[in-house]
């Protein structure tokens, strides 16, 4: 498809085109979507887990309420939420405790936290609460049970937390400026599920209508913690000054999310679960393709798009980061997003209908992939009727199976076709093994080492897919065409895992990250951002190339908003204007 480049205000996107609808329906391929630069530029969308979960909660009348709140004047004690949906019952048990400032850290080596929590099946009896009270505050050092679904911990954002308590106790609302840099009251440092440390395996949730979608149990736990953080500051303010204290304003309740500090432990997931990665990226691209076939854009939708792009620019301007690469990318976005806005304004007065496919093609040619991904998020936001039916988190069988009957000739052709990206990498990139991945003995968390400087390469995790494929292909070139795969892997057992992966991912083109993950220029934060964007995180603030802070549920509906007629408008949340600062009740 060829279109004239739009340069600022003077060119039109509405010139006659020769392409037909079938061309527009084509999805962006994995050579575009699965590069680390683009993965590291992704934003949350309507498809992200936090947003699809909250819409489902509202649509299907989930009942989430506080069943018990036993906190002292300082906010220490126990709170129990009950969750009822589809005839299923769950509880989230939260423990708030004193934590000395010298013990507060977001690092994985922490032993104590301000808040610990467990999402469990059913409604706990007194003996269950006693068991949870003993073990949940210890996290992985405790004894967890097979019907505990999610284990998590969080620390207060002390400056924000104490400031908000003081404001509410004095009968006034906080200054919105304090929420621009830190848009939350508490920050999770781990949210564990899927069998970690003895809690329930994901297979236990396969038959659960509430939590069968990927990561929905974990996201529900964070959603409840978000509500608890607001109730906690209000409780402490009321205890401090019962006559004057006010509730937090509704606009702040919606804006404030839950912070999250995430390190390397998240990055390998995308490699170890390629079928899920394929589903996530395929779902986004399918949704985008549905939008790109829209024949014309009406005035109301065009106005909505301009509003969202303006909001995106304001959101990016409110992201504060000291990471040089992220700060430079955000600065570039603040230059490029007004160009997109001007393009839309220009098209509003044209006689021909605007086609989103043309705008995206122009952005692809003229703007950075970061700006392109902002546009993708905006386009998906415009058409909930086309997008919301797609479930990115639907259960997927990610078991990798060996086909022993395949011939070597067929396997060789499969590798040559599906892994051309690995086989044709420049030699300097292909042989770059600067990093190695391993698992720490103490915390069982993935780590990265520099091969030439650090010990442990003999315990390397097999995340080197590109290198394995190149080695496999070289060996296949030497094997006879009619040799069976069973005989091949029996003769070369070191290739069993990569053969199984290649065969299992046939027909799943979005399943591989198309880069050498050992290369010196590889940034793990790009992999983390891709997964966090699928969760629905915002405000990406890398603290190094190895860990990042984000916010979840920022701008999302609150627990009190859940209703079938709820409006989900959480894309690119911005700090409230503070018009409720005069002591308004929620």
- In terms of domains, do 280 and 358 share one? yes
CA distances from 496 to 404, 455, 492, 501, 535 (A): 10, 27, 7, 9, 32
pLDDT of residue 254: 97
Q: Quickly state the pLDDT bin for 239 (edges 50, 70, 90).
A: very high
pLDDT of residue 204: 84
The residue out of 451, 486, 504 marking a domain boundary is 504
Cα 552 from Cα 323, distance rounded (Å): 20
Lowest mean pLDDT among 19-33, 215-229, 244-258: 19-33
- In terms of domains, do 110 and 246 share one? yes
For residue 16, pLDDT over 50 is answered with no
The answer to whether 262 and 547 have CB atoms below 8 angstroms apart is: yes
Q: Quickly state the pLDDT bin for 249 (edges 50, 70, 90).
A: very high
User: What global pTM score does this model have?
Assistant: 0.91
Q: Is 542 part of any domain?
A: no
Q: What is the mean pLDDT of residues 224-247?
A: 98
pLDDT of residue 108: 62
Q: Is 570 part of any domain?
A: no
Total number of domains in the chain:
3
For residue 350, pLDDT over 80 is answered with no
- In terms of domains, do 25 and 153 share one? no
- In terms of domains, do 98 and 232 share one? yes
CA distances from 341 to 8, 291, 417 (A): 10, 19, 40
Q: Quickly state the pLDDT bin for 443 (edges 50, 70, 90).
A: low
For residue 411, pLDDT over 90 is answered with yes
- In terms of domains, do 113 and 143 share one? yes
Q: Is 76 part of any domain?
A: yes
Tens-place pLDDT, residues 362-381: 999 999 999 999 999 999 99
CA distances from 171 to 72, 174, 240, 244 (A): 21, 10, 11, 5
Q: Is 54 part of any domain?
A: yes
The packing angle between helices 274-292 and 496-504, to 10°, is: 20
Tens-place pLDDT, residues 476-530: 999 999 999 999 999 999 999 999 999 999 999 999 999 999 999 999 999 999 9
Q: What is the mean pLDDT of residues 201-223?
A: 91
Cα 504 from Cα 135, distance rounded (Å): 40
The token pair at 272 is 């170890």
- In terms of domains, do 104 and 246 share one? yes
Residue 59: give the domain boundaries.
49-263
For residue 584, pLDDT over 70 is answered with no
Q: What is the mean pLDDT of residues 330-357?
A: 86
Cα 4 from Cα 359, distance rounded (Å): 11
Tens-place pLDDT, residues 92-115: 999 999 998 888 877 666 789 999
Lowest mean pLDDT among 24-28, 191-195, 204-208: 24-28
Q: Is 10 part of any domain?
A: no
pLDDT of residue 5: 30
Q: What is the mean pLDDT of residues 460-488?
A: 96
H-helix or E-strand spanning residue 526? helix 524-535
Q: What is the mean pLDDT of residues 218-233?
A: 98
Q: Is 535 part of any domain?
A: no
- In terms of domains, do 302 and 283 share one? yes
């Amino acid at each position: 498809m060829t279109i004239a480049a739009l340069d600022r205000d003077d060119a039109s996107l509405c010139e006659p085109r020769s392409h037909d609808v079938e061309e527009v329906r084509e999805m962006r391929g994995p050579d575009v979507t699965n590069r680390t630069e683009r993965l590291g530029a992704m934003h949350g969308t309507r498809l992200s887990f936090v947003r699809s979960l909250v819409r489902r909660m509202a649509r299907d009348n989930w009942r989430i309420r506080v069943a018990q709140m036993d906190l002292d004047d300082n906010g220490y004690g126990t709170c129990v939420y009950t969750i009822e949906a589809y005839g299923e019952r769950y509880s989230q048990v939260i423990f708030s405790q004193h934590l000395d400032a010298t013990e507060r850290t977001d690092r994985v080596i922490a032993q104590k936290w301000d808040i610990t929590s467990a999402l469990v099946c059913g409604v706990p009896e007194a003996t269950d609460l006693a068991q949870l009270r003993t073990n949940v505050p210890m996290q992985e050092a405790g004894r967890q049970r097979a019907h505990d679904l999610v284990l998590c911990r969080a620390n207060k954002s002390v400056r924000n937390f104490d400031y908000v308590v003081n404001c509410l106790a004095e009968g006034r609302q906080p200054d919105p400026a304090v929420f621009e840099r830190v848009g939350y009251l508490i920050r999770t440092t781990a949210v564990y599920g899927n069998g970690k440390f003895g809690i329930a395996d994901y297979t236990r949730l396969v038959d659960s209508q509430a939590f069968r979608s990927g990561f929905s149990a974990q996201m529900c736990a964070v959603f409840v913690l978000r509500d608890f953080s607001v109730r906690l500051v209000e409780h402490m303010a009321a205890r401090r000054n019962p006559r004057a204290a006010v509730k937090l304003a509704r606009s702040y309740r919606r804006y404030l999310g839950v912070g999250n500090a995430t390190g390397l432990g998240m990055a390998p997931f995308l490699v170890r679960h390629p079928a899920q990665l394929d589903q996530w990226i395929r779902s986004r691209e399918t949704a985008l393709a549905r939008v790109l076939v829209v024949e014309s854009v009406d005035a109301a939708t065009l106005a909505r798009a301009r509003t969202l792009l303006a909001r995106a620019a304001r959101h990016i301007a409110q992201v504060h980061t000291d990471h040089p690469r992220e700060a430079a990318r955000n600065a570039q976005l603040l230059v490029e997003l007004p160009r997109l806005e001007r393009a839309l304004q220009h098209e509003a007065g044209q006689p021909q209908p605007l086609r989103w496919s043309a705008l995206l093609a122009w952005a692809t040619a003229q703007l950075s992939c970061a700006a392109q991904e902002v546009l993708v998020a905006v386009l998906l936001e415009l058409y909930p009727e086309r997008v919301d039916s797609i479930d990115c988190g639907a259960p997927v069988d990610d078991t990798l199976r060996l086909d022993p009957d395949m011939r070597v000739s067929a396997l060789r052709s499969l590798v040559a076709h599906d892994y051309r990206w690995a086989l044709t990498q420049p030699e300097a990139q292909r042989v770059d093994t600067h990093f190695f991945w391993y698992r720490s003995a103490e915390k069982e968390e993935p780590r990265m080492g520099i091969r030439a400087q650090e010990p442990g390469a003999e315990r390397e995790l097999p995340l080197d897919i590109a290198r394995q494929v190149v080695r496999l292909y070289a060996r296949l070139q030497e094997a006879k065409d009619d040799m069976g795969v069973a005989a091949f892997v029996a003769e070369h057992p070191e290739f069993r895992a990569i053969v199984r992966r290649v065969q299992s991912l046939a027909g799943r083109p979005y399943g591989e990250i198309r880069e050498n993950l050992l290369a010196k220029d590889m940034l793990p934060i790009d992999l983390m951002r891709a997964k966090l964007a699928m969760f629905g995180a915002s405000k990406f603030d890398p603290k190094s190339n190895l860990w990042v802070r984000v916010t979840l549920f920022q701008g999302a509906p609150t627990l009190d908003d859940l209703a079938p007629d709820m409006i989900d408008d959480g894309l690119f949340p911005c700090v409230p204007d503070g018009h409720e600062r005069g002591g308004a009740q929620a």
